[in-house]
Structure 1
Amino acid sequence: MILLVDAGNTRVKWWVVDEAAQANNLAEGVLEHARIDELQHVVERFPAVTRMVGTNVAGDAMAERIARLLASRSITVEWVRASLQCCGVRNHYAAPTQLGADRWAALIGARALHHGACLVVSAGTATTVDLLDTDGNFLGGLIIPGVDLMRHSLAGNTAQLPLASGRFSMQPRCTADAIESGCLQAQAGAVERMFAQIAHLPDACCLLGGGAAGRFAGLLDIPLQKVDNLVLHGLAAMVREQYAG
């Protein structure tokens, strides 16, 4: 068995998969950073786990904590890095190995789920918006502040804009609503502008995931599929390819 880990900026998501059963998902969960020690309980429930395959954007300290937790169980820890090609996806980043591992895994997950052109959107602390063509070429993408990061930036860097909870409106008429609506419209606008580059391709679709996805999904006027855990889907596809070879 293999433990798949997606260590994000605020949470750590995990799956336990069985490589003998095409990396099917046996169990899953989410841990806040402060509760990462509970990952040890996961591997205690599944003593057959011998490997961990993961992505980490939470920093070296988080990687070290996870490695220490798993060392007591003699579990091999493998952190994924972007490469030139994997699982039918070709990486056209200017410096391919500098592409974030989470973006790379999400692209691979998207390719495993949808074989047409797609826009891969992960809406979390930051929002990433990545283009994948019909042949599996990663063409490039955006990184923008996520919804809450935008809100906090306005509150922290302006004298008169509060960190307030507003409601979305097409025509906001109070400051809190103007901030909330502006942040959501900015997310949706970036996604729709990027999707326009592949809209003419057959079966083009936006695959949208992440904790903030539901906050602006309804604003998008493009073909859309909401998909949770794109990074973990990608890690599972990598594992399947390893064992198929």
Structure 2
Amino acid sequence: MNLLVDLGNSRLKWAWAEGDTLTVGEPVDHSRPLQPQLEVLWRQAPPIGRALVASVARPRLEAELAQAIHACVGVEPEFIASAASACGVHSAYATPEKLGVDRFVAMIALHARAAVPVVLASVGTALVLDALDADGRHGGGLIAPSPMLMQEALLGATARVSASSTALTVEMAADTEDAVRSGCWLAAAALVERFYATAAARMAHPPVLVIAGGAAAELAPLVRVPSRIEPDLVLRGLAVMARSGCAKPLPNR
């Protein structure tokens, strides 16, 4: 049995993996100490062979996680690095390790599921876009603020603009609260559509649009391209890497 961990900017996601079976656990808010929370979640952990981690978090939090994994399941975690090529996916980056490991591992999950052209839009703290051809070649991507982050930036920089938890997303708003929410979410949707059109023009066949991340269900209906929502892509990609033996751990972790 393997332990798989996706350490993101705002929360930790994890799963047990054995062969093709993935059992996803309850996400953890890492604004609070990790070890007490993980001790509860992992108190009946099966014997663990490996612990693979894809992290985009700060080093301090990675160190806290490493200590918690060792204390809770008795293995040293392997922090995975992006590579020039792994599991059939080939990075477009000249310096491959600069590609966010969550993006790289998510593309591995998609390519392992089906060797078809894909555009991946992942919306969490950031809105991240990537294009992947059927042969596993990454065409590059974009990073922008998520709609939530856009709204926070707008509210922090203006004195008389307000937001509301009940605001609606509409094409033309008749009050400020709806205008703020709508502008941020429709801007994100428009960027996804533009990136999709650019990627499709460069591919031999029309790509599938996959939307992932914590706000996928809110973004998907706003995008005027047929799409499907894919949960837990990073965990699924880590499972592929564990099965195939193509995981490349970072040194000195």
Cα RMSD after superposing both structures: 1.6
Distance 2:138 2:225 in 1: 20
Task: Give CA deviations for 1:169-195 in whole Å, capped at 9, x if unaligned.
Answer: 111111111111111111111111111
Paired with 2:11 and 2:53, the residues of 1 have a C-alpha distance of 13
Q: For 2:208, give the aligned amino acid.
A: C
Q: Which residue does 2:105 correspond to in 1?
A: 105
**Other-structure match for 2:27:** 30
Deviation at 1:129, TM superposition (A): 0.6
- Partner SS state of residue 25, structure 2: strand
> Within 5 Å, which residues of 2 pair with 1:32-181?
32-33=29-30, 34=32, 36-37=34-35, 38-72=37-71, 73-165=73-165, 166-181=167-182
Give the counterpart letter for 2:212 in structure 1.
G
Measured against aligned partners, the alpha-carbon deviations of 1:99-150 in whole angstroms (never above 9, x if no partner) come to: 1111111111121223211111111011101111121111111111111111
Tell me the CA shift for residue 35 of structure 1.
5.6
**Distance in 2 of aligned mates of 1:31 and 1:42:** 9
SS of the residue aligned with 1:76? coil
Q: Which amino acid aligns with 2:52?
A: V
Amino acid at match of 1:15: A
Taking structure 1 as the reference length, what is the TM-score of the superposition? 0.92
Moved over 4 A (4+): none
Q: Which moved more, 1:150-159 or 1:194-203?
A: 194-203
TM-score scaled by length of structure 2: 0.89
Deviation per residue, 1:64-88 (Å, 9 max, x gap)? 1111112224212101110011111
Q: What residue in structure 1 maps to residue 224 of structure 2?
A: 221
Could you list the runs of 5+ residues in structure 2 that have no partner in the other structure?
Answer: 247-253
**1:161 partner SS:** coil
Q: Do the aligned partners of residues 190 and 27 (structure 1) sit closer, same or farther apart at CA in structure 2, a change above 3 Å counting? A: closer
Return the alpha-carbon distance in structure 2 between the equivalents of residues 41 and 48 of structure 1: 16
- Give 2:88's aligned amino acid: G
Partner of 1:9: 9
Give the alignment of 1:167-206 within 5 angstroms.
167-199=168-200, 201-202=204-205, 204-206=207-209
Count of aligned pairs between the two proteins? 240
